[in-house]
Amino acid sequence: MDVEARETGEIRVGVRELRGSLTQYLREAARGVAVLVTSHDRVIAEIRAPAPGRRPERRPGALRGQIRMADDFDTMPSELLDAMEA
């Protein structure tokens, strides 16, 4: 990581340079450095590692009473059985 990235936590890189060294900049982003992509000295995109995800809390039984099964749910139609035997 260069001096600028250590001090600011971000790197500015032109589109051409990004194309030529994409893997290097993706590694930097994975380490937490923001990669600012520029075109004509204007920032046009930002590459950074995704925010850590938070899994929703599980609530067993939360859908109780909301799911209904047909009475013949586990009955195989005779046409399908015949097709499987053919």
Residue-wise pLDDT tens digits, 46-55: 999 988 887 7
Domain 3-47 has what CATH class?
Answer: alpha beta
Rounded Cα distance, 45 and 19, in Å: 13
Residue 47: the pLDDT is 96
> For residue 4, what are the contacts with CB-CB under 8 A and spacing of at least 6?
10, 11, 12
List the one residue out of 59, 16, 51, 55 whose CA is nearest residue 32: 51
Asked if residue 2 has pLDDT above 60, the reply is no
Tokens of 12: 């500015």
The total number of residues shown for the chain amounts to 86
Give the pTM. 0.56
pLDDT digits (tens, 9 = 90+) for 23-76: 999 999 999 999 999 999 999 999 999 888 877 788 999 989 998 888 888 888
